[in-house]
């Protein structure tokens, strides 16, 4: 995980403290199930340690923001051991300052003495979902975009993504260009739970004029056409935060050893549906639901703020 500190991103110190507390809450929850490393500049360690559990380890790797899914390293297993399959982070198409975050993957590789394998792509790991059995899903808007990969065709980008993830097939859906900072990351909409099985977060009353609702329906149709069994979790109708920009995604959970760490939004009906659905898909794991509204207000969630590393 990454400790958010950049005051160009967070101009309000009080709000930044609230964001940091939310990140600490997630880290402390996960640390009860598996080791957690928080990346932060050494100067930021005392402040972070005040709210982090002793079970969370701090590494001296400077950060700007909290989105470790996007800026953090993508680990791969090779015949010679672990390596970093590197997708360059450029601040979601240079929409946000990222001088420190752009160097995080290489810094983690150096800390762990792992080789770095360039992918030839710019983008974010939150922009692609994989089932662990050779299948990827992505929105074109997050990849086939001149703000990340100018001059590359969809076919070229697909080849490089498949190589980076060790996969052999990709399902594309159009997505939405330019209306949010991520250009509509797939992990805010759908996730695989097992090979051939997925969850998707859909509005209960789709607006035919809402581009995100239209794009979500297109992604759902693409999954069904690929013979994926899809469970729908409805978006909350009465969340604590009511804003058109608020991301209320039950699909944006983190799967850790023995647990699923997911968001709840204060809508008792849909919160219960999400918990039941996650429990059914992951019967051997405890489902823990947290109030992470601060991240939703920023356009992300728990999955966006985390990045898994294989045990060494």
- In angstroms, the CA 115 to CA 112 distance is 9
Backbone angles phi, psi at 195, to 5 degrees: -60, 125
pTM, rounded to two decimals: 0.97
What is the mean pLDDT of the segment spanning 58-69?
98
What is the mean pLDDT of the segment spanning 182-199?
98
Distances 80 to 76, 114, 117, 179, 243 between C-alpha atoms, Å: 11, 10, 13, 42, 48
The total of other beta-carbon atoms located within 10 Å of residue 156's CB is: 14
Token pair listed for 115: 């080789």
Radius of gyration of the chain (CA): 18
pLDDT digits (tens, 9 = 90+) for 39-48: 999 999 999 9
pLDDT at 312 over 80: no
Q: Report the percentage of the chain scoring pLDDT > 90.
A: 98
What is the mean pLDDT of the segment spanning 300-308?
98
The confidence score (pLDDT) of residue 311 equals 87
The CATH architecture one would assign to domain 13-298 is 5-stranded Propeller (3.75)
Per the CB < 8 A criterion, the answer to whether 251 and 202 are in contact is no
């Amino acid at each position: 995980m990454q400790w958010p500190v950049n005051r160009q991103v967070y101009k309000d110190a009080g709000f930044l403290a609230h964001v940091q507390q939310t990140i600490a809450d997630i880290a402390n929850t996960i640390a009860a199930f598996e080791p957690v490393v928080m990346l932060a500049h050494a100067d930021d360690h005392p402040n972070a340690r005040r709210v982090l559990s002793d079970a969370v380890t701090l590494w001296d790797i400077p950060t700007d923001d909290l989105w470790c899914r996007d800026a953090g390293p993508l680990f791969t297993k090779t015949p010679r051991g672990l390596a970093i399959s590197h997708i360059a982070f450029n601040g979601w198409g240079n929409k946000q300052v990222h001088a420190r975050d752009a160097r995080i993957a290489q810094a983690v590789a150096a800390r762990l003495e792992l080789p770095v394998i360039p992918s030839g792509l710019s983008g974010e790991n939150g922009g692609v979902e994989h089932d662990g059995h050779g299948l990827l899903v992505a929105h074109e808007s997050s990849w086939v975009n001149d703000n990340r990969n100018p001059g590359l065709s969809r076919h070229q980008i697909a080849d490089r993504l498949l190589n980076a993830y060790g996969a052999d097939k990709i399902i594309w859906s159009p997505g939405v260009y330019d209306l949010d900072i991520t250009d509509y990351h797939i992990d805010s909409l759908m996730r695989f739970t097992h090979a051939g099985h997925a969850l998707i977060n859909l509005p209960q009353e789709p607006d035919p004029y809402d581009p995100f609702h239209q794009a979500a329906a297109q992604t759902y149709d693409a999954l069904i056409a690929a013979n994926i069994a899809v469970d729908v979790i409805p978006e909350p109708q009465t969340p604590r935060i009511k804003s058109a920009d608020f991301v209320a995604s039950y699909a944006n959970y983190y799967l850790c050893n023995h647990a699923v760490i997911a968001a709840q939004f204060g809508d008792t009906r849909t919160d219960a549906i999400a918990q039941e659905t996650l429990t059914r898909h992951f019967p051997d794991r405890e489902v823990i639901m947290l109030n992470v509204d601060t991240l939703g207000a920023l356009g992300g969630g728990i999955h966006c703020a985390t990045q898994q590393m294989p045990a060494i």
